[in-house]
C-alpha cells in the first residue's frame, strides 16, 4: 500500500482528465469513480466487489482527507490499494489520479476502482477521466438526496442505493428516490445493495463485467 499526501495541485482538470481517459483506453483498463456521502458505504461495496471479482486484476485508489483506513480494508479484501490523502481537499482531481496511476502498472490491470472523498458536492465538479461515475446513496441519508444534490445525480452513469436492510427502520420512499433519480438522469443504471448480506452485489458485478467488453464512454 502506498500513501500520498496531495495538495495544491495545479493543472487544467478537464485536460488532465481527458489524458487519463486516453491512458485507461490505451491500457484497456475499465475505470470507475464511486462518489457519495461520508459513510454511505462506498468502501463496504468495494470490499464486496473485490472479493466477488477475484478473477480480475483490480486496483483500487482510495481518496480520503486523512488516514489509510480504507486502503487497508481493500487490501484485506484482496486487491492492491493506493491511498491518496488530500490533506483537506474535499474531492479527488484528475491530477491526483494521474500521479497515482503513474505508480501503478496499468498494463497489468483490468479494472481501476476509485473511491472519491466522501462528499456529494465537490467530486461532481472534478472529472477524473473514468468511464463511469457511480453514486452510492444510502437509506439513512433520506430519499430526497437526488433532489438536493442534482449536479452529482445528473452527471452519473449509475446509482447504488445501499443499506436497503435498513428500509424497515427508516422513513424512506424507494419509489420516490428512483423517480427523482430518473428525472435527473434517465440513463443511469440502478442498483440496490446491502453490504452485511451482500444482496445486490452480484448484479453490480455482472454489470461491471459487461462494461469490460462494452464500448467506452466518457
Ligand X SMILES: Nc1nc2c(ncn2[C@@H]2O[C@H](COP(=O)(O)OP(=O)(O)OP(=O)(O)O)[C@@H](O)[C@H]2O)c(=O)[nH]1
- Closest to 100 measured CA to CA, from 120, 124, 84: 84
Asked whether the beta carbons of 64 and 6 are under 8 A apart, the reply is: no
Question: With CB cut-offs between 5 and 8 Å by kind, which of ligand X, Mg ion, none does residue 195 bind?
Answer: ligand X
Per DSSP, the three-state class of 97 is helix
> Binding residues for Mg ion, per CB under 5 A?
42-43, 70
Question: With CB cut-offs between 5 and 8 Å by kind, which of Mg ion, ligand X, none does residue 39 bind?
Answer: ligand X
Torsion of CA 42, 43, 45, 51, to 10 degrees: 160
The full DSSP string for 144-199 is THHHHSHHHHHT-SEEEEE-GGGTTTS---HHHHHHHHHHH-TT-EEEE-BTTTTB
In terms of DSSP bridges, do strands 111-115 and 2-5 run parallel, antiparallel, or are they unpaired? unpaired
Q: Shortest distance, CB of residue 218 to ligand X, whole angstroms?
A: 25
Output 39 or 150, the one with its CB closest to Mg ion: 39
Question: With CB cut-offs between 5 and 8 Å by kind, which of ligand X, Mg ion, none does residue 162 bind?
Answer: ligand X
Question: With CB cut-offs between 5 and 8 Å by kind, which of Mg ion, ligand X, none does residue 40 bind?
Answer: ligand X
Q: Shortest distance, CB of residue 197 to Mg ion, whole angstroms?
A: 19
Q: Shortest distance, CB of residue 102 to ligand X, whole angstroms?
A: 24
* d(C-alpha 98, C-alpha 126), whole Å: 13
Output 46 or 181, the one with its CB closest to Mg ion: 46
Output 129 or 200, the one with its CB closest to ligand X: 200
Q: Shortest distance, CB of residue 129 to ligand X, whole angstroms?
A: 21
What b/e sequence results for 58-88 when a residue is b if at least 16 CB atoms lie within 10 Å of its CB, and e otherwise?
A: bbbbbbbeeebebbebbbebebbbbbbbbee
Q: Shortest distance, CB of residue 41 to ligand X, whole angstroms?
A: 3
> Binding residues for ligand X, per CB under 6 A?
36, 38-44, 70, 118, 162-163, 165-166, 194-196
Output 21 or 145, the one with its CB closest to ligand X: 145
Output 4 or 165, the one with its CB closest to ligand X: 165
Amino acid at each position: 500500500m502506498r500513501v500520498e499526501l496531495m495538495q495544491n495541485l495545479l493543472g487544467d482538470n478537464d485536460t488532465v482528465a481527458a489524458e487519463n481517459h486516453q491512458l485507461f483506453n490505451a491500457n484497456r483498463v475499465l475505470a470507475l469513480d464511486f462518489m457519495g456521502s461520508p459513510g454511505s458505504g462506498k468502501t463496504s461495496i468495494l470490499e464486496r466487489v473485490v472479493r466477488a471479482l477475484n478473477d480480475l486484476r483490480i486496483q483500487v485508489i482510495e481518496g480520503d482527507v486523512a488516514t489509510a483506513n480504507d486502503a487497508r480494508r481493500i487490501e484485506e479484501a484482496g486487491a492492491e490499494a493506493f491511498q491518496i490523502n488530500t490533506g483537506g481537499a474535499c474531492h479527488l482531481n484528475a491530477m491526483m489520479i494521474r500521479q497515482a496511476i503513474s505508480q501503478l502498472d496499468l498494463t497489468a490491470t483490468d479494472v481501476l476502482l476509485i473511491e472519491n472523498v466522501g462528499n456529494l458536492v465537490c467530486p461532481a465538479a472534478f472529472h477524473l477521466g473514468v468511464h463511469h461515475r457511480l453514486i452510492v446513496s444510502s437509506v439513512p441519508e433520506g430519499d430526497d438526496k437526488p433532489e438536493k444534490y442534482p449536479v452529482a445525480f445528473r452527471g452519473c452513469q449509475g446509482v447504488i442505493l445501499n443499506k436497503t436492510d435498513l428500509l424497515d427502520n427508516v422513513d424512506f420512499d424507494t419509489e420516490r428516490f428512483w423517480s427523482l433519480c430518473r428525472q435527473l438522469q434517465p440513463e443511469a443504471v440502478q442498483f440496490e445493495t446491502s453490504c452485511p448480506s451482500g444482496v445486490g452485489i452480484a448484479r453490480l458485478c455482472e454489470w461491471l463485467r459487461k462494461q469490460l467488453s462494452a464500448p467506452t464512454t466518457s
